[in-house]
């Protein structure tokens, strides 16, 4: 059972002697094996939510619990995929994936087969000895995702992982992620500002207001997806053509528009 529970979470940021309220009273539970996506305008604190679940930041009030255990710091049970990839430039693709695994006391053969499995899964075969600087952005992010998956984490936290990629690569990565996620469901908290990406990937979409961030609404995408059988379409553009998809997407767009209009962007 791997759940993420935000209880009355607020986050205040101090700068130049002034207090900035970034998050205001967030209450959210990500259920076991649920794929939750948070969308919101820039600066709404959605990344901060993820970082608190990761243990890289801490709430000013309230608590963040993973599996009912208070988050006190980062760890391999809550694997993070960063927007900037965050691969170790001095390690090969293989070593990057292996690095976190080595500390877990797994036997060597077992580790090797695990890594091979994820390398194949993320289409990285043949690149095991390459260094990150030799890879494209998309390839690097694949390594980062493989690294996170290989940890067999309770919870997967993804911070705008496709944000630094070009549009075409982005689409390919989304398709791949969906395939992996449906085959091997995990508890995922995914952050993005791209609405279509959110609707495509999520079981539930959480829409946030602009700063100070509150939860504006939560939409259940999974029931729509299953009812309309989106998964029978393998291509993303076919899914995005579905009326039900467009309806959800437009709804969220409008919701976010209100936030942009209201804020001082």
For residue 86, the 8-state DSSP code is -
- Judged by CB under 8 A, which of 23, 36, 79, 201 binds another protein? 79
The least CB distance from residue 244 to another protein, in Å, is 36
Using the minimum distance from each CB to another protein, give the nearer residue, 39 or 135: 135
Query: Do 161 and 144 contact (CB within 8 A), yes or no?
Result: yes
Query: Should residue 85 be labelled a site residue for another protein when binding is judged by CB under 8 A?
Result: yes
The least CB distance from residue 204 to another protein, in Å, is 24
Q: Which of 210, 215, 166, 175 is nearest to 36 (CA)?
A: 215
Q: Is the dihedral of CA 221, 212, 259, 198 positive or negative?
A: negative
The pattern of x and - marking residues 104 through 133 that bind another protein according to CB under 8 A reads x------------------------xxxxx
- Judged by CB under 8 A, which of 21, 24, 63, 100 binds another protein? 100
Give the pair of three-digit tokens for residue 222: 């999974």
Q: Which of 48, 39, 66 is nearest to 10 (CA)?
A: 48
- Judged by CB under 8 A, which of 82, 116, 152, 164 binds another protein? 82
Query: Should residue 43 be labelled a site residue for another protein when binding is judged by CB under 8 A?
Result: no
Query: Should residue 75 be labelled a site residue for another protein when binding is judged by CB under 8 A?
Result: yes
Q: What's the N-to-C CA distance of the chain in angstroms?
A: 40
Query: Should residue 91 be labelled a site residue for another protein when binding is judged by CB under 8 A?
Result: yes
Using the minimum distance from each CB to another protein, give the nearer residue, 58 or 169: 58
The separation between CA 245 and the C-alpha centre of its own chain, rounded to angstroms, equals 20
Query: Should residue 69 be labelled a site residue for another protein when binding is judged by CB under 8 A?
Result: no
Query: Do 238 and 185 contact (CB within 8 A), yes or no?
Result: no
Using the minimum distance from each CB to another protein, give the nearer residue, 7 or 84: 84
Q: Which residues, in sequence order, are bridge partners of residue 10?
A: 61
Query: Do 147 and 100 contact (CB within 8 A), yes or no?
Result: yes
Query: Should residue 163 be labelled a site residue for another protein when binding is judged by CB under 8 A?
Result: no
**Residues within the interface to another protein (CB under 8 A):** 54, 56, 73-76, 78-80, 82-92, 99-100, 103-104, 129-134, 147, 151
């Amino acid at each position: 059972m791997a759940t993420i529970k935000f209880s009355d979470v607020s986050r205040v940021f101090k700068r130049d002697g002034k207090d900035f309220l970034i998050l205001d009273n967030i209450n959210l539970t990500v259920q076991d094996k649920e794929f939750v996506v948070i969308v919101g305008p820039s600066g709404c604190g959605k990344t901060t939510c993820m970082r608190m679940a990761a243990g890289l930041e801490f709430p000013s009030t309230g608590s963040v619990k993973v599996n009912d255990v208070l988050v006190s710091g980062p760890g391999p049970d809550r694997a993070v995929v960063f927007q900037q990839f965050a691969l170790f430039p001095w390690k090969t693709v293989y070593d990057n994936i292996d690095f976190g695994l080595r500390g877990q006391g797994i036997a060597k053969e077992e580790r090797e087969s695990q890594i091979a499995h994820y390398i194949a899964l993320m289409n990285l075969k043949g690149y095991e000895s390459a260094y990150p600087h030799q890879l494209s952005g998309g390839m690097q992010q694949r390594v980062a995702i493989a690294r996170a998956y290989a940890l067999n984490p309770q919870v997967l936290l993804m911070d705008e992982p496709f944000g630094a990629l070009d549009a075409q690569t982005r689409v390919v990565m989304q398709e791949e992620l969906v395939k992996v996620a449906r085959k091997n469901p995990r508890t995922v908290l995914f952050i993005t500002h791209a609405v279509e990406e959110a609707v495509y990937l999520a079981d539930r979409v959480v829409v946030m207001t602009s700063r100070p961030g509150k939860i504006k609404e939560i939409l259940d995408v999974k029931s729509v997806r299953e009812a309309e059988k989106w998964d029978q379409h393998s291509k993303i553009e076919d899914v995005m053509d579905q009326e039900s998809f467009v309806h959800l997407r437009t709804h969220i767009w409008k919701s976010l528009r209100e936030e942009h209009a209201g804020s001082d962007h």
